[in-house]
A and B are shown apart, each in its own frame.
Chain A
Amino acid sequence: MELALQAFREFLSPQNVALSALGVVGGIIVGAVPGLSVTMATALLVSMTYAWDTKPALAMMLGIYAGGVYGGSRSAILINIPGTPSAVATGFDGYPMAQRGEAGMAIGLSTVQSFIGGVLGLVALVVAGPLISEFALKFAPRDYFLLVAMGLSLVSRLGAKSMPRALIAAAGGVLVGLVGMDPVTGEGRFTFGLPLLIGGVHFIAVLIGLFGLSEVFYQLGRVGRGDVPQIKIPEVGRILPSWALVLRFLPLSLRTSVLGIMVGALPGTGGEIAALLAYDHAKRTVRKPTRPFGQGAIEGVIAPETANNAAIGGALIPMLTLGIPGDAVTAVLIGALFIHGLRPGPLLMVEMPDLFWFIAASYALANVFLLIFGLMAVRPFVKLVNVNKKILMPMIALISVVGTYAIQNNIYDVFWMIGFGILGYFMKLGDYPVGPMVLGVILGPLADINFRRAILSVRGSVPAFLLELVTNPISLVLTIMMLSAFVPRLPSSAALRGLLGRLRLGKREGA
């Protein structure tokens, strides 16, 4: 504890505080612009801060990390284009809220919930870091498969209007996700012999095309016909959610934080899956949401926003306790530690406890800045919803192109993005939801590789695979959770839910 205090005192030097603040602001911007990724921004900082001391560099990187994961929700709420994959789920209800004129409230909520998730993630890191990372290592490939399958099963509940259409879109997404080199044999799949397709289609290009450009086409088509949709003029209204509101949803925030921390701590899964599973969790457990999910439910913003920031704390756990990255950004952070001459690994916490505490302190401060900056200057952002579509839409088109090119400086990504923009336009005309398709592209390949790892581990034996699902405790719990998603009307599951409902605060009933 003395070390913690000392780290905090050292941390509070004006230089470190300023860099942390700068990092958070930069992160929010990077996060909000689709295509600019937090991973990329952190990597850029690695070369920029090469000559700096380790600690100021880390302070800034953690600021970018926290700000970036949060910033993605801005564009998801305001213009329905998730700035980062971890904000996809936020858009499901955040954008409908903005359409109802509650953009200010949605942003305020997402900020406060990100802060709560961030702080809880930090507490988990400090209190139970080593324990959680040992637990995370126990997850076998089949457990990853079950987690991803759970995320995919969300699709069937996502299309409120038509489940078959949602499933068709998701299946299309899975197919797109499988394009490219087979992860096991190296053969080209759906490449038609074209070298161009060997690398597959970058899922962020699909995301920007389907959410961004298709919306531009759709809206411009309506502008031309003088058929501009009437959006309620957003009243900025109250930005800071009331204590009562925060407290009312605190049980949900706590549950989704725990979920976010766990998913974040699993190497190879990050904020995007945490946010999706959290949204799914909210949808399944909240019986009477403030509004139906998908139409601006407050719970639909709270759950993913808490989870994706809690996942940061989660991802820092294996990074600091084992030297294993929990997601793409922590992989870059580990690289940065190496470049600064440190040895990230299981001994880092033992040999350099001050560094551990410094990172914890930096991340704590980044969360404070996130709260401050997130709640500042909301009004000008909210006005964005009001901007004439004839001006806003071409700007979004431009950002879509630039953002896509920025993913990996690859012009083919831009072509894909445009292609998916056109596809998304026709999907919208035909009333097919684009969200499930994006989920398919992100989750399909993960389900594929983890299933194959699992089945190869038992040398292709299906009975052995099924046996493991019920004999391993972690797998058993996940299997039950997944099955209960498919058979929601079983009396036993209703009873179980009733029991869980009683355990939770009964306040939501009155909503």
Chain B
Amino acid sequence: MHAEAASRLLKFVLIPALVVTLAWGVMVVPSRAQVYPERSITGIIQWGAGGTTDRVSRRITPLAERALGQRVVLSNMTGASGAVGMQYVFDQRADGYTLLYAAENPTIYGVLDLSPRNFDEFEPINLFARSIPVVVVRSDSKLRYLTELIHLAKQQPGQIKAGSTGIGGVPFVVGAMMTAVSGVKFNPIPFDGDGPAIPALLGGHIDFHVSVMAAVAEHIRAGRMRALAVIDNVPADVAPGVPALGQMMPEYRPYLPWGPFFGVWVKKGTPAPAVRRLADAFRPAVASEDTREFLDLIGAVPLNLSGDEAMRWVKQWQSVTAWLLHDAKATQKSPEMFGIPRPARK
């Protein structure tokens, strides 16, 4: 009697219930892709809290959130020049629910042998902006022009104390440019980033530093530092009156514009509708007046690139940087091994 009741229960209740559930599941799954995002999204920032990547990401994301209609929960996952965070996103499903907020570093993971990951495994949603590097000295320094710095460095090779933020960092690459073009060498003093390098410059413990505009703009405005040049082809609005390297010395032009960039990526293989939805949400967020003002404040130039345009930008940047590093003998592996072409002469 009991067994019979049980089998009847199975036959008339459980099995139909199962069938209905499965059928509902099958019907719902395809429609899910269309309603992306249907739950909150995780955003992994590959750099620490308070850094430029972090600031830019935390400032722009809330604007895109509104367009997406879902929360984007941001967290910092740092380590190994951002490779830890990138690896994490790579290990997640390519469903558009995990975003990678990255800076330029992954383009040179390969040649520096830092990580097997690279941007080819990710789809750019939006390249937000780029920072303009600027060469700064203390305001009581006797150096007034970049040419004077280069001249002095030729007279005293390897003696002028330059701030350095590690191999592949902004000062390193700009230094490699100066070595490649002007044949000068400095004495790089290592710091963990612009954070500790700037007080060292202000305290007179290093002679000059190459920093992104964001970190030094206020010190220049307050007259504590002097900018010798912006690392770009044309003077920047954010640094009025500061000459551009490419104008002063045209031989630097093939390498310019150069500077850190920031953006958001998803893992390759993410469904096209989700990629489109994200790109559509971020584009107006980056273009907004709010963001423009903020980027201006931190001395960054908006890029707002997505899709193929973004990929081209990254490739060009990678080719310039990887070969500069290689020629400065700072790479572990040749750019050729990764199929990175030498930058085209402009």
Residues of chain A whose beta carbon lies under 8 Å from any beta carbon of chain B: 39-40, 42-43, 46-47, 50-51, 136-141, 181, 183-186, 195, 198-200, 202, 267-268, 318, 322-325, 328, 331-335, 338-339, 341, 343-348, 408-410, 449, 452-453, 456-457, 459
Contacts and interface: CB of A to CB of B under 8 A. Distances in A.
Enumerate the 4 nearest inter-chain pairs by beta-carbon distance, A residue then B residue, closest first: A345-B218, A43-B49, A199-B79, A331-B50
Residue among A47, A141, A268, A453 facing the most chain B CB atoms (10 A cut-off): A47
Nearest to B222: A346
A408 B77 contact: yes
Contacts of A136: 199
A463 to B, nearest CB: 17
B215 to A, nearest CB: 9
Nearest to A40: B49
Contacts of B161: 457
A46 B203 CA distance: 30
Given A199-B84, A347-B221, A456 B190 contact: yes
Given A181-B80, A186-B167, A195-B115, A338 B298 contact: yes
B49 A343 contact: no
7 contacts: A140-B205, A335-B49, A338-B297, A338-B298, A409-B88, A449-B190, A456-B190
Interface stretch (B52-60, B147-155, B333-341): B52-60
B313 interface: no
Interface in B62-116: 62, 74-81, 83-84, 88, 112, 114-116
Nearest to A41: B49
Contact of A198 (B59, B83, B297): B83
B10 to A, nearest CB: 40
Contacts of B112: 186
Interface string B168-200: 100000000000000000011111100110111
A172 B221 CA distance: 47
Interface in B105-158: 112, 114-116, 158
A408 B84 contact: yes
Contacts of A452: 190
Nearest to B58: A47
Given A200-B79, A333-B50, 5 more contacts: A186-B168, A331-B51, A343-B297, A410-B77, A456-B189
B219 A346 contact: yes
B329 to A, nearest CB: 12
B224 interface: yes
B199 A459 contact: no
A279 B48 CA distance: 30
Contacts of A322: 199, 202, 219
B260 interface: no
A453 B76 CA distance: 28
Contacts of A335: 49-51, 54-55, 58
Nearest to A409: B77
B166 A186 contact: yes
B106 to A, nearest CB: 14
**Max count, chain A CB within 10 A of own CB: residue among B76, B199, B293:** B199
Nearest to A142: B205
Contact of B221 (A43, A181, A195, A345): A345
B159 interface: yes
Given A325-B195, A408-B76, A346 B59 contact: no
Contacts of A140: 203, 205
A43 B76 contact: yes
A380 B286 CA distance: 50
Identify which of B59, B61, B62, B294 gathers the most chain A CB atoms within 10 Å of its CB: B59
B30 to A, nearest CB: 31
A464 to B, nearest CB: 12
Given A323-B218, A338-B297, A198 B114 contact: yes
Nearest to B193: A331
Contacts of B224: 346
A198 B167 CA distance: 14
B200 A199 contact: no
B199 A334 contact: no
A409 B75 contact: yes
B196 A199 contact: no
A221 to B, nearest CB: 33
A268 B196 contact: yes
Contacts of A331: 49-51, 195
Q: Tell me which of A140, A345, A347 has the highest count of chain B C-beta atoms within 10 A of its own C-beta.
A: A345
A499 B70 CA distance: 67
A140 B199 CA distance: 10
Contacts of B115: 195, 198
Contacts of B189: 141, 453, 456-457
A266 B61 CA distance: 33
B203 A324 contact: no
Given A140-B203, A345-B219, A452-B190, A42 B49 contact: yes
A323 B219 contact: yes
A341 B50 contact: no
A183 B192 contact: yes
A457 B49 contact: no
Contact of A328 (B50, B187, B219): B50
Contacts of A409: 44, 75, 77, 88
Contacts of A459: 158-159, 187
